[in-house]
Amino acid sequence: MGLKRTIAAFGGLALLLGASVGCNAAWADSSTAADGKVASAGGPGEAAEGASDFAARGEQTCMRCHDKAPVTDILATPHAMKADPRTPFGKHACESCHGVSRDHYEAHPAEGQRRPSPAVVFKGEFASPVADRNAKCLACHQNGLRMNWQGSQHESNNIACNSCHTIHVQKDPVLVKQTQPDKCFTCHAEQQALTLQFSHHPIREGKVACSDCHNPHGSAGPDSLKKVRVTDTCYTCHADKRGPMLWEHQPVREDCTNCHNPHGSQNARLLKEKVPFLCLDCHAATNDMGGYGYKNSDVAAHSGNFYLSGDRSCLNCHSQIHGSNSPSGSTFFR
Ligand code: HEC
Ligand code: HEC
Ligand code: HEC
Ligand code: HEC
Ligand code: HEC
Ligand code: HEC
Ligand code: HEC
Ligand code: HEC
Ligand code: HEC
Ligand code: HEC
């Protein structure tokens, strides 16, 4: 890298970050450089890494070599808000995540040798253990959505924060509805297949995201759902199904997945089975739920085969399947 280009890049950077830096200091990157930049105290992991071990010139130390995209794309993200003391750039810049890395940038490797890696590397051949990587992120992000990270499926399966998140990019794709599912599908082929089925939530159309129902950082609910109950998760968008209703259909109140597969189905309306089979699972006299009426009853309408036939079958008469508010709706006719 030529000195001229470095200085040009440097000037641009100083402008971007609003830092006032003399070009003559460009190579003076030891932590003792008296350039007036003082690392803010109270950052993560500083008990182990003394504050004075961090590069005094912050990101400028690193960017004299790492001056190209994608590394520099971080400058356009919330992480690079220097004026905000909560951010990496308000603390120890690159080293807030990559750790104290003096061995890396002060090395003078011989021809054909590589420099020792920074303390924490997030991807590639020299990637650090997942726990070390995640510890860096969690030092600032333990709260909020990540209250239940410890013990979550992703945490216990050794998934890294950066298996989903990309840091050196202007907009992290996993935070964008349209591009999020592709990230998830790299590991969740089964759900990907379901979203391709005839009936599906508009996930691949970019209107519903996995994170509308799930908190991928873990939750207090089942299957990392955002709410403690499945039904409550569904009510956030399908409020008309919430009730309470005058006449409740018990399985609806219990769990929408008694009848629906949220990710996709070959049957209309995300139903797990076609009607009448769906209904007969619970309503046949011989089923293991004891048989809730229907065959045992004297209902004239249930004689012959008409009541089983057609696309809508049972729904021809029992159309208010999620419950009814009509005084005469006890069997969900209206
Ligand atoms: C003097 C030039 C130079 C400086 C300064 C520098 N790096 Fe590097 N860095 C490199 C080179 C060259 C590589 C590629 C590895 C090699 O070939 O030695 C690299 C690789 C990396 C990698 C990839 C992991 C690896 O081991 O290959 C990361 C991450 C990294 N640097 C981060 C940083 C950070 C953070 C800083 C500032 C604290 C920094 N670098 C400062 C030259 C530099
Ligand atoms: C030094 C503290 C710090 C560290 C370390 C840190 N972050 Fe952040 N991060 C922040 C702050 C502050 C914000 C901005 C939050 C806000 O504006 O409310 C942020 C924002 C984010 C966002 C939202 C970005 C956006 O575009 O809205 C994501 C995702 C994120 N961080 C993930 C990570 C991951 C993954 C790591 C580890 C590789 C990490 N962070 C390390 C402090 C940190
Ligand atoms: C399985 C994928 C996945 C993993 C692993 C993951 N995240 Fe996220 N993260 C997401 C998604 C998706 C969102 C958007 C959530 C939303 O919009 O509700 C998000 C949002 C965020 C945000 C911005 C929203 C906020 O909370 O302010 C931060 C910060 C964040 N994650 C940090 C982390 C950290 C730290 C880790 C590791 C401990 C991590 N994430 C692991 C998928 C993941
Ligand atoms: C918020 C945490 C965070 C900060 C701050 C950060 N990085 Fe990174 N860095 C990462 C993550 C995570 C990756 C993995 C690729 C990605 O997500 O973009 C990475 C990847 C890299 C790589 C490429 C390694 C490879 O093999 O692909 C280099 C080089 C690098 N960072 C240098 C820097 C430099 C220089 C700075 C400061 C200007 C910096 N990083 C600031 C988290 C961070
Ligand atoms: C790097 C691979 C990977 C990525 C990427 C990933 N997951 Fe996972 N996920 C797993 C593993 C492993 C499990 C553990 C269960 C299993 O093996 O299916 C899991 C489990 C889950 C579970 C079940 C959680 C529970 O508490 O039972 C949900 C929900 C989930 N992931 C959602 C997501 C979403 C949403 C995304 C994208 C934002 C995502 N995952 C991205 C690997 C991944
Ligand atoms: C409309 C809400 C909703 C959306 C959107 C959604 N899920 Fe789910 N997901 C659920 C529910 C409810 C469960 C509970 C188990 C079940 O019946 O499938 C679940 C379960 C899971 C599980 C656990 C395994 C299983 O099937 O039981 C994984 C993994 C998962 N979802 C991944 C994803 C991924 C990846 C996306 C995005 C492509 C996604 N989900 C989108 C509601 C949703
Ligand atoms: C983020 C909002 C959101 C959440 C949460 C949500 N849905 Fe949906 N749901 C939608 C949208 C959008 C549609 C498509 C509506 C349309 O196409 O008119 C839909 C459609 C449906 C359909 C009809 C599908 C069809 O093929 O006609 C069913 C059934 C359904 N959702 C069930 C559920 C269940 C069960 C849950 C909880 C596990 C749930 N939804 C959670 C937004 C949501
Ligand atoms: C007992 C089985 C069953 C349960 C449980 C159930 N549904 Fe349904 N749902 C159906 C049937 C059958 C249809 C198709 C109705 C039709 O075509 O007239 C349907 C259709 C839907 C539709 C699309 C048409 C409409 O009415 O808006 C949505 C949305 C929906 N259900 C949401 C939910 C939610 C949310 C829950 C949980 C609170 C739930 N369902 C529980 C059987 C059920
Ligand atoms: C997961 C099991 C399950 C499924 C699937 C199911 N039901 Fe039910 N249904 C019940 C239970 C439990 C009751 C309450 C029975 C009671 O109170 O004795 C009930 C009650 C009813 C009632 C009112 C009975 C009465 O005596 O007032 C009707 C009508 C009914 N269901 C029709 C249907 C239809 C039509 C379908 C298919 C679209 C269906 N059910 C699917 C479990 C189910
Ligand atoms: C032609 C209209 C019609 C069709 C189609 C129909 N039913 Fe009914 N069903 C009735 C009538 C009428 C009653 C009695 C209502 C009352 O007494 O208020 C009834 C009552 C019920 C009851 C209440 C229990 C009982 O025996 O009194 C259940 C459960 C039930 N039906 C389930 C089903 C199922 C499951 C299907 C599809 C396999 C179905 N019905 C198809 C008209 C129909």
The domain segmentation of the chain, as residue ranges, is 3-29+48-105, 130-230, 244-316
**pLDDT higher than threshold 60 for residue 49:** yes
Query: What are the beta bridge partners of residue 260?
Result: 271
Q: How many angstroms separate the Cα of 170 from the Cα of each of 18, 88, 97, 305?
A: 19, 16, 17, 61
Candidate from 44-53, 121-130, 225-234, 260-269 with smallest mean pLDDT: 44-53
In the predicted structure, residue 293 carries a pLDDT above the cut 60: no
pLDDT of residue 331: 86
Q: Out of 252, 331, 332, give the residue to mutate to test ligand 8, the one with the largest number of ligand atoms within 8 Å of its CB.
A: 252
Residues of the chain above pLDDT 70, percent? 79
Local confidence band at 39 (pLDDT 50, 70, 90 cut-offs): very low
Model pLDDT for residues 149-188, shown as the tens digit of each residue:
999 999 999 999 999 999 999 999 999 999 999 999 999 9
Structure tokens at 197: 């089925």
Would the pLDDT of 113 be above 50?
yes
- Separation of CA 179 from chain center: 11
Q: What would the two tokens of residue 284 be?
A: 């046949």
Tell me the Cα Rg of the chain: 29
Cα separations in angstroms, 253 against 232, 246, 277, 321? 10, 12, 20, 11
Query: Which region among 85-89, 227-231, 285-289, 325-329 has the lowest average model confidence (pLDDT)?
Result: 285-289
- The amino acid at residue 216 is P
Q: How many CB atoms lie within 10 A of CB 158?
A: 11
Angstrom distance (rounded) from CA 127 to CA 138: 18
Question: Among 248, 250, 271, 280, which residue has the most ligand 9 atoms within 8 Å of its CB, making it the best to mutate?
Answer: 250
Quote the ligand 9 centre to 250 CA distance (angstroms). Answer: 7
- What mean pLDDT is reported for the chain? 84
Residue 257 structure tokens: 């997945």
Is 271 a residue whose pLDDT tops 80?
yes
Q: Is the pLDDT of residue 295 over 90?
A: no
Say what the pLDDT of residue 309 is: 74
Of 4-13, 105-114, 115-124, least confident by mean pLDDT is 4-13
Residue nearest to atom 41 of ligand 5 (CA): 184
Is the separation of the CB atoms in 62 and 119 below 8 Å?
Answer: no
Confirm or reject: Cβ of 258 under 6 Å from ligand 2.
Answer: no
What lines the ligand 4 site, CB under 6 Å? Answer: 59, 62-63, 66, 71, 74, 79, 88, 93-94, 96-98, 122-124, 162, 166-169
Ligand 10 atom at minimum distance from 283 CA: 35
271 has which bridge partners? 260
Give 52's pLDDT tier (boundaries 50, 70, 90).
confident
C-beta separation of 230 from 204 below 8 A: no
Q: Mean of the pLDDT values across residues 56-76?
A: 96
C-alpha to C-alpha distance for 217 and 225, rounded to whole angstroms: 10
User: Measured between alpha carbons, how far is 192 from 204 in angstroms, rounded to an integer?
Assistant: 9
Residue with tokens 């924490």: 120
In sequence order, the 6+-apart residues with CB closer than 8 A to the CB of 110 are none
Of 282-296, 300-314, 318-332, minimum mean pLDDT range: 282-296
